[in-house]
Amino acid sequence: MRLTARLLALAFLFLPAIPQAAFAADGGEASRQVVASQPPGAAIASAHELATAAGFEVLEQGGNAFDAAVAVSAALSVVEPISSGLGGGGFFLLHDAASGRDVFIDARETAPAAATPDRYRDAEGRLDRERSQNGAWSAAIPGLPAGLVHVAGKYGRLPLSPSLAPAIRLAREGFPVYERLERGYAARRKVMERYPGTRAVFLAGGKPPMQGQLLRQPDLARTLEALAREGFDGFYRGPVAKKLLAGVRAEGGQWTAQELAAYQVHEREPLRFDYRGWEIVTAPPPSSGGVALAQMLQVLAGWNLADLDPAHRAHLTIESMRRAFRDRTFYLGDPGFVHVPVEVLASREYAAGLRATIHPEKATPSDIFSGLPTPLEDEETTHFSIIDAEGNRAAVTQTVNLLFGSGLVPPGTGVLLNNEMDDFALLPGQPNAFGVMGYAANAPEPGKRPLSSMTPTFMVSPDRVAVLGTPGGSRIITMVLLGVLGYADGLDAQAVAALPRYHHQWQPDVVEAETGAFSPEVASRLRAMGHALHLPEGSVSAGASSHFWGNLQTVMWDRRSGQLQGGTDPRNPVGKAEVRLRSGEAVAP
């Protein structure tokens, strides 16, 4: 507890904080009401309506939430290449209703042995961002295909093949290109069109994808068929693996067949803690999200946020973010390679030490001030949430890292490779594409998993169960925080998905906010407290220009009313949250 002691020693520097409230659940008459043992149906929220439909298609065949998770994940890998795919990785947070067990499936990518830090230095010794973000050297060994095989085989009720069938059909027959996909391709076009395999997919008709046109991916359909037929070996060994290796080597990369064949999914114990009557179940390392979420919420548990004015509530929330991201920088990494002091960092005692350093009226300056805004990440990464009629649930966040990952599709595979090497601390103290830094704990080593911000999360109270998560780079963590606070305030699922967002990540020492997140009065009061705000042009006045981020997808089951709800982020017009009752009736989320 040395970290806690150091923080407590700092407390005398600060004035007494805003009065703290008791940390307890409601014990009144309402808590003795009868709660339902099973939901009245199923709810799925995902970033694309075709993926949501794929999940329900598998449920209607007798599958459970875990089969549906495989179907939704694979379908998103087809229809959202901008965000995720078989060439990336992901985290599956699962709850088995029959046993009451929660499990975290780590299908995060791993570093190739050849990807040592010196490979990412330019001639002057600085970080070579071209190599860390584009092409073969930016790609880590994919984990998502192994994750799909593992979830289907161990937790699903159906064979893998029917759960992959909707994705195979979408890849073969095509789907209409949507505005976000067209815009994202335009942003990455110069990189993607370097590679013949990528051109074969996205320039198959001679022109780049355009809204409303069908995008067909026959090579990806064949890769998915091999995975459905042969399981793990269908991707990591055999013809598909040979094509992956050839495509990487043709662009100068140095993956090996042994590295592909040796990839392993890890099952981990989820991180769990309490927040004002809710049990929070969330992602352990190599995600940084769960530890940061535990720190922020347990710091904030010392105040009754509902009783505070908006400026003080935002101030305290920002200060909790600042402290959690500082610890992320120095302490978090792959627990298979470094000691991560999770028990200390996620403890109430440590949170009390952090809380004691917060001045109720003044911002705490970060160690090094920088006025640079946090780089945006709206389109990359995706999340979906599921509750089935038995009460099983899945929170899944998957990614290829940046927009269209590395941009490289090895010819004949249809698989767009990730650029997760940029998530490592390739050079100590050098910020990555999301402006976050790292040191030795997150340095690359052969087989090591890069630190992630993905934060799939469950919330469980005596009367409600919620599943939530989002893309957003380093902003994932703070968006999930605000979503948890929204549910704790009593909001419904759609209101949680629509909440305005703000973010602080220690470095740079700047508060980022969406359009309209702060009123002019709140923005002025935060500045008076010493917070540096980076706000969109006109964002605190009427008629502001648009500036939004994230794509939160959430479902919620109210066990007292028996109601199921779904919430899909209104920032994403192709997302879909749907509830279907046991009778087959679809109801408005």
Q: Which residues are catalytic?
A: 381
- Cα 17 from Cα 219, distance rounded (Å): 60
512: phi then psi, degrees, rounded to nearest 5: -90, 145
Q: Strand, helix or coil at 527?
A: helix
Pick the closest to residue 391 from 122, 35, 30 (CA basis).
35
Distances (CA, A) of 73 to 27, 67, 85, 118: 39, 10, 8, 35
- Cα 94 from Cα 101, distance rounded (Å): 8
- Cα 184 from Cα 178, distance rounded (Å): 10
- Cα 224 from Cα 171, distance rounded (Å): 9
Q: Report residue 506 as tokens.
A: 């220690």
- Cα 338 from Cα 449, distance rounded (Å): 11
Which residue stretches of 332-452 are H helix? 342-345, 348-356
Pick the closest to residue 48 from 25, 30, 71 (CA basis).
71
Q: What is the chain's length?
A: 589
Q: Strand, helix or coil at 377?
A: coil
- Cα 201 from Cα 329, distance rounded (Å): 38
Those residues whose C-beta lies under 8 Å from the C-beta of residue 28, and which sit 6 or more positions away, are none
- Cα 241 from Cα 247, distance rounded (Å): 10
Residue 341 one-letter amino acid: P
Pick the closest to residue 305 from 5, 65, 21, 7 (CA basis).
21
- Tell the burial category of 124 from Cβ atoms under 10 Å away from its Cβ (0-12, 13-18, 19+): exposed
Q: Report residue 129 as tokens.
A: 């961002």
Alpha-carbon torsion angle 284, 293, 477, 510, nearest 10 = -130
| Tokens 């790609």 -> residue | 139
- Cα 132 from Cα 421, distance rounded (Å): 6
108: phi then psi, degrees, rounded to nearest 5: -75, 150
Distances (CA, A) of 22 to 277, 298, 320, 485, 580: 11, 12, 18, 16, 39
Residue 213 one-letter amino acid: Q
Pick the closest to residue 563 from 541, 589, 527 (CA basis).
589
Which residue stretches of 174-279 are H helix? 179-192, 196-202, 218-230, 233-236, 238-250, 257-261
Q: Report residue 17 as tokens.
A: 């904080």
483: phi then psi, degrees, rounded to nearest 5: -65, -45
| Tokens 């071209």 -> residue | 130
561: left (phi over 0), alpha (psi -120 to 50) or beta: alpha
